[in-house]
Amino acid sequence: MFQTGGLIVFYGLLAQTMAQFEGLPVPLDQTLPLNVNPALPLSPIGLAGSLTNALSNGLLSGGLLGILENLPLLDILKPGGGISGGLLGGLLGKVTSVIPGLNNIIDIKVTDPQLLELGLVQSPDGHRLYVTIPLGIKLQVNTPLVGASLLRLAVKLNITAEILAVRDKQERIHLVLGDCIHSPGSLQISLLHGLGPLPIQGLLDSLTGILNKVLPELVQGNVCPLVNEVLSGLDITLVHDIVNMLIHGLQFVIKV
């Protein structure tokens, strides 16, 4: 009888003790070891891919293709334009020797704008990202006197955007756009079509020289503000995950 009562008292005390410890944190030595750094996401490649997809979709939905198609290229190139009084006069001089009266009716039209696959690189210290934005357009040089395009060119140009994690005065951390520039040497111009009787090579060389001077900064000035706008509108969960990685310098962009 005494033994039975003792067992009842013992189990009663045990149940009371267990109830008191319910809800208390489990001691660290009873769990898996905790990392000093935040845990990596299940798929770093997935996180990087989510960022490039979000940026790509944001650029397209934000009107990137329309921005490229409406670049004020002719306004800058024509006589009286924004660069040294216009650079088109020198170009026209090479063509008017073959087709008199061509001045003031030449036209350069942007067609077929494209956003190609974005590239993503993380800095060696892990605190910054560099997004490569490859763009493609076609340029058509027209004149009604000929009844067809003088030249048709394919143009490719990369914009490189730096992404940083910055802490504001309220101790909140955001993704912000750092440098946004055209990648030096990335401009590629190739001839798709040229009208036979004209001095195509001389015309092409002159136009290429002009485009090398004006096109990179023109594209940069019109595209980078959109990149900043897209970056500020990214999904908050995605931003939080990327900020967490950048602040701690954790590599999540896999080099291939």
Phi/psi of residue 254, each to 5°?
-80, 125
61 occurs within a structural domain? yes
Which of the pair, 85 or 185, is modelled with greater confidence? 185
Residue 113 parent element (H or E): strand 107-115
Whether residue 39 is contained in a domain is answered as no
- Confidence label for 9 from pLDDT (cuts 50, 70 and 90): very low
Residue 238 lies in a domain: yes
**Mean pLDDT value across residues 228-250:** 93
With respect to residue 243, please indicate whether it lies within any of the assigned structural domains: yes
Q: Domain tally for the chain? A: 1
List Cβ neighbours of 247 (8 Å cut-off, separation of 6 or more): 127, 165, 173
Q: Is residue 205 part of a domain?
A: yes
pLDDT of amino acid 148: 62
CB 120 within 8 A of CB 131: yes
Q: In Å, what is the CA distance from 143 to each residue of 109, 195, 231, 242?
A: 11, 11, 41, 51
Contact between 108 and 139 (Cβ < 8 Å): yes
Which is it for the CA torsion 206, 212, 213, 219, positive or negative?
positive
pTM given for the model? 0.74
In a domain, 20, yes or no: no
Burial class (CB in 10 A: 0-12, 13-18, 19+), 30: exposed
User: Which tokens sit at 8?
Assistant: 């009842």
Residue 114 domain flag: yes
- Mean pLDDT, residues 125-132: 96
For helices 44-61 and 200-232, the axis angle rounded to 10 degrees is 110
- Which pLDDT band holds residue 22 (cuts at 50, 70, 90)? very low
Least confident segment among 13-17, 59-63, 64-68, 244-248: 13-17
CATH number, domain with residue 218: 3.15.10.10
Strand pairing of 148-167 and 107-115?
unpaired
pLDDT score, position 120: 96
| 37 has pLDDT over 50 | no
Note the pLDDT of residue 136: 97
Quote the domain boundaries for residue 67.
44-248
3 state SS of 62:
coil
121 part of a folded domain = yes
Please report the sign of the dihedral spanned by the C-alpha atoms of residue 28, residue 29, residue 33, residue 37.
positive
Q: Which residue has the higher pLDDT, 100 or 118?
A: 118
